[in-house]
Amino acid sequence: SSQKENTPNAAGSVAADIQFYRPHEVAQKLGISREHALRLLRGKKLPGVKFGRAWLIPKSALEQYLKRLMSAL
Confidence label for 2 from pLDDT (cuts 50, 70 and 90): very low
Of 14, 55, 63, the C-alpha closest to 35 is 55
Per-residue pLDDT at 17 = 61
Burial 9-44 (b: 16+ CB within 10 A, else e): eeeeeeeeeeeebebebbbbebeeeeeebbebbeee
pLDDT tens per residue, range 12-67:
554 446 599 999 999 999 999 999 999 999 999 999 999 899 999 999 999 999 99
Angle between helices 23-30 and 34-42 (to 10 degrees): 110
